[in-house]
A and B are shown apart, each in its own frame.
Chain A
């Protein structure tokens, strides 16, 4: 059976450290638009907001986590995910 009513995919996005400062926000809920299925695609979608969001352009040294685990750019996004974007870590 075809699935006629597709639930909109809602995710939570967190931003940390210098990236959060640049964006001026620490988190948001997002209904993910069609065509955005991976971390990389989400990052590109957010960067397309322009202005300060250009900080998320690929090549800007942004790291990502999906559900609190480090994630590769190609990792798929699922409904209800917690996605985080942040600069390379500097603990210790």
Chain B
């Protein structure tokens, strides 16, 4: 279980391989990679701000919650900050488990919780100037659908 908040890019292949390396109980690895989207010609770049100290703790807490819900063998979360251009990677979530059900579910859970609980803020550069991105209610909905679900399968 490991969490990084960093400016540097990450190697998706190496991170994915590391999740199962040396553990022959791993039968499934699910990964998610989030990218900066151009949105037509709207976004030329975005800057991600975070709360050093709290962000790492919040991510670690989310990973711990996932590990209490599902039987996970390895988890890796990497979230970048700073200025990123369309096509660049923002976030990596990788989960290893015995079977695909846990891996898929935990990966999605971690992303849903990250979206509403980890202190990051996006500022987009557009043709009409820079603007802070507003939080979306659909993100709250995505996170709360896990509230009354016991996903241990």
Contacts and interface: CB of A to CB of B under 8 A. Distances in A.
Residue in B50, B51, B136 whose Cβ sees the most chain A Cβ within 10 Å = B51
Interface string B106-140: 00000100111111111100000000111110000
Contacts of A17: 49, 121, 123, 132
Given A18-B132, A68-B51, A89 B57 contact: no
A90 B115 CA distance: 6
**Interface range, B side:** 20 to 34
B54 A68 contact: yes
Interface string B86-122: 0000110000000000000000000100111111111
Interface residues of A, number: 17
Given A16-B49, A68-B54, A89 B119 contact: yes
5 contacts: A18-B121, A21-B132, A89-B118, A90-B136, A92-B114
Instruction: List the 6 closest pairs (A to B, CB-CB), nearest first.
Output: A91-B120, A88-B135, A17-B121, A68-B54, A18-B132, A92-B115
Interface of A: 14, 16-18, 21, 65, 68-70, 84, 86-92
